[in-house]
Chains A and B, each alone.
Chain A
Amino acid sequence: MTDLWEVFVRPRRGLAHTHVGSVHAPDAAMALRNARDVYTRRQEGVSIWVVPAHTITASSPDEKDAFFDPAADKIYRHPTFYPVPDDAEHL
């Protein structure tokens, strides 16, 4: 009956919604209200998203190495890898 919902709160206008936790609720309308009561009691947000937890596809911890390690030695993906010519303005 009661499903799990992931809760995302936007703390201020202009910022992105951030995952803050989860709530139990029988449907989306109640999930939104429960999220309001549990996660925005102290003026933490101006907007709330609730997402059914089962609809989220997550990367597997077992695949962590294959997923993330290859990025470790590719420093050229960082902008700081490239020297900036002295006469390049507006960077």
Chain B
Amino acid sequence: MSSTTDLIEAALRIGDDALVAGQRLAQWSARAPELEEDIALSNIALDQVGVARLLLTYAGEVEGAGRDEDAFAYRREPADFRNCLLVEQPNGDFGVTMAKLLFVSVYQHLLYQRLMDSADERLADVAAKARKESAYHEDHATQWTLRLGDGTAESHRRMQDAVTAIWPYTDELFARDDVSDRLAAAGVVPDPDSLRGPWSETVGDVLAVATLARPSVPAAPGGGRAGRHSAHLSTMLSEMQSLHRAHPGATW
């Protein structure tokens, strides 16, 4: 088994991806193009937050310092977050949101499938629950990508712009570092790089059917796993954490 520190890091990397993705999607609540889509995006947001709760709680238990899920979600600074930069990107238009959802959900679906075999039982349990949810997220994003990509000239143009704009951030999903190498060697979390091939194939198939071009743009610098985030995360967290910071321990 890897060290305690690595296990906390693993829970935070996967959990923070879910938390930030969930918060971003929740920003569509009451603003989506249609009531049906509003509910769909809120459902997905809640799925993500649900997974985040389990993982942040687990991180707190492993740490053993008395921090609960709220302490991790509401009392950390941006530099303490371990999410990838992709999920913190602004929602943009609906096409950008769907491009982000497609890329993240295909990644999460593959990750959870592999994580079900984790040497860590708790991570395996969370993955078993999250896998089915992420399959639906992937389907939802796929359906919209197909319809917008292979839709009208305007929807095609905007979906292509969205895919091209978000594409550079996908490289970070598969980036390795010392922590991920140790976690992979211990069988706790799959090597991120091993998901790159299957991800590329699945996303490539969707783009092809959607008549969208696979972007050939350079990867954006990563750093999210090490706490180096864009200003977008600070802005998002300042809103997300404002209630808890104003009224510590508030419940409802």
Residues in chain A within 8 A of chain B (CB atoms): 2, 23-27, 29-30, 33-34, 37-38, 41
- Tell me whether B208 is interfacial, beta carbon within 8 Å: no
Chain A residue at minimum C-beta to C-beta distance from B152: A1
A24-B34 contact given A33-B40, A37-B40, A38-B39, CB 8 Å threshold: yes
Report which residue of A26, A29, A33 has the largest number of chain B beta carbons within 10 angstroms of its beta carbon. Answer: A33
Chain B interface size, as a band, is 10 to 19
7 A-B contacts (beta carbon < 8 Å): A25-B36, A30-B147, A33-B40, A33-B140, A37-B36, A37-B39, A38-B36
5 nearest CB pairs, A to B: A34-B36, A37-B40, A37-B39, A23-B36, A38-B39
A38 to B37 CA separation, bound complex (whole angstroms): 9
Contact of B213 with A by CB under 8 A: no
Question: B interface vs A, CB < 8 Å?
Answer: 34-37, 39-40, 43, 139-140, 143, 147
Instruction: Kindly list chain A residues whose C-beta atoms are within 8 Å of the C-beta of B43.
Output: 37, 41
Q: How many A-B residue pairs have CB under 8 A?
A: 27
Q: How far is the CA of A23 from the CA of B40 in the complex (A)?
A: 12
Instruction: Give Cα A34–Cα B32 distance, bound, in whole angstroms.
Output: 13
**A37–B37 Cα gap in the complex (Å)?**
9
**Docked-complex contact B147 and A34, CB < 8 angstroms:** no
Q: What is the distance, in angstroms, from A37's C-beta to the closest C-beta of chain B?
A: 4
Other than A33-B139, A41-B43, give 6 A-B pairs with Cβ distance below 8 A.
A24-B34, A27-B147, A30-B143, A34-B40, A37-B39, A41-B39
Residue of A nearest to B41 (CB): A37
CA distance A29 to B35 in the complex (A): 17
A24 contacts B147, C-beta separation under 8 Å = no
B35 contacts which chain A residues (CB < 8 A)? 24, 38
Which residues of the partner chain A approach B34 to less than 8 Å between Cβ atoms?
A: 2, 24
Closest B residue by C-beta to A25: B36
Contacts of B39 in A (CB 8 A): 37-38, 41
In the complex the two chains form, what is the Cα distance from A58 to B6 in whole Å?
A: 64
Closest to B34 in A: A24
In the bound complex, CA of A63 to CA of B36 (Å): 34
